[in-house]
């Protein structure tokens, strides 16, 4: 691997410059393409958007420019969902982004029916590539889903935006400058979208069905309270190693 490329990546702030250089080289088919990709990375474009994929739960998830990059900590949410999913479960990946959560859950458990939805057109196109044979709808939360799913969902994955509006400016430039604000901004306290999900989730879940969202540790009790206000029982789970917090709402049986 060219020492010059490694040096340029390191100077741009890439902590794992050697590993990134190897990934860029593997993803390129010519010296000119490699140079273009290095320039994109040095300019701040997320590595996953440059090479066209992100590793998630052992899968390669296609990621296009302008699409939210799945975070490794969200693998915890998928594992929690897998532990709850019954064989043949009916699953919706809401706010699906690239479709990573639905794809990962389907790789781990016997999913009977899988659907996905997102408000962002680029995300919908990306999710359709990652979820062949799956209906991926475009629209605002539950408005995107067909009414035939109401009351039938066993698992609702809802990786909603939860960054407080005033804190977006402090995010890494990769996210702040290259991912749509709609995928990040959760309103004043970060919970605006989660409250909307919580208010309607019980209508879409089957009795005993579960909705899972990611939050920060400090937000978790607010999310749990929103679930309770929506008629769900709520519990908070955490993985300290992954710095991941998931709130699970369950419709009473």
Q: What is the pLDDT of residues 223-237, one digit of tens each?
A: 999 999 999 999 999
| 13 pLDDT higher than 90 | no
- The string of pLDDT tens digits covering residues 25-79 is 898 888 889 888 888 898 888 889 999 999 999 999 999 888 999 999 999 999 9
User: Where does the pLDDT of residue 167 fall: very low under 50, low under 70, confident under 90, or very high at 90 and above?
Assistant: very high
Query: Which residue, 58, 74, 64, is CA-closest to 159?
Result: 74
**Strands (E) located in 69-152:** 89-94, 111-118, 135-138
Distance CA 35, CA 14 (A): 16
**Order of strands across the sheet with 233-239?**
135-138, 111-118, 89-94, 153-158, 205-215, 244-250, 233-239
Are 118 and 97 within 8 A, CB to CB? Answer: yes
Distance CA 215, CA 161 (A): 9
In the block, residue with structure tokens 């794992």: 16
- The string of pLDDT tens digits covering residues 77-104 is 999 999 999 999 999 999 999 999 999 9
| 1 pLDDT higher than 90 | no
**Strands (E) located in 122-185:** 135-138, 153-158
**Residue 77 confidence (pLDDT):** 98
pTM: 0.91
């Amino acid at each position: 691997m060219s020492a010059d490329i490694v040096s340029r990546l390191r100077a741009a702030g890439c902590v794992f410059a050697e590993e990134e250089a190897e990934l860029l080289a593997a993803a390129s088919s010519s010296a000119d393409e490699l140079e273009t990709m290095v320039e994109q990375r040095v300019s701040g474009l997320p590595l996953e958007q440059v090479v066209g994929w992100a590793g998630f739960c052992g899968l390669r998830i296609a990621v296009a420019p302008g699409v939210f990059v799945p975070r490794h900590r969200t693998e915890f949410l998928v594992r929690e969902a897998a532990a709850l999913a019954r064989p043949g479960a009916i699953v919706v990946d809401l706010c699906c982004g690239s479709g990573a959560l639905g794809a990962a859950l389907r790789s781990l458990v016997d999913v009977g029916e899988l659907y996905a939805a997102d408000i962002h057109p680029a995300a919908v196109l990306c999710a359709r590539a990652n979820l062949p044979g799956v209906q991926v709808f475009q629209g605002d939360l539950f408005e995107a889903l067909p009414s035939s799913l109401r009351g039938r969902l066993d698992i609702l994955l809802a990786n909603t935006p939860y960054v407080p509006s005033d804190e977006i400016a402090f995010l890494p430039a990769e996210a702040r400058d290259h991912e749509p604000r709609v995928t990040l901004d959760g309103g004043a306290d970060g919970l605006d979208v989660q409250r909307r999900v919580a208010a309607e989730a019980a209508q879409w879940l089957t009795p005993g069905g579960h909705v899972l969202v990611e939050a920060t540790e400090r937000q978790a009790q607010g999310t749990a309270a929103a679930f309770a206000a929506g008629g769900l029982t709520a519990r908070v789970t955490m993985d300290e190693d992954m710095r991941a917090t998931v709130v699970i709402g369950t419709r009473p049986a």
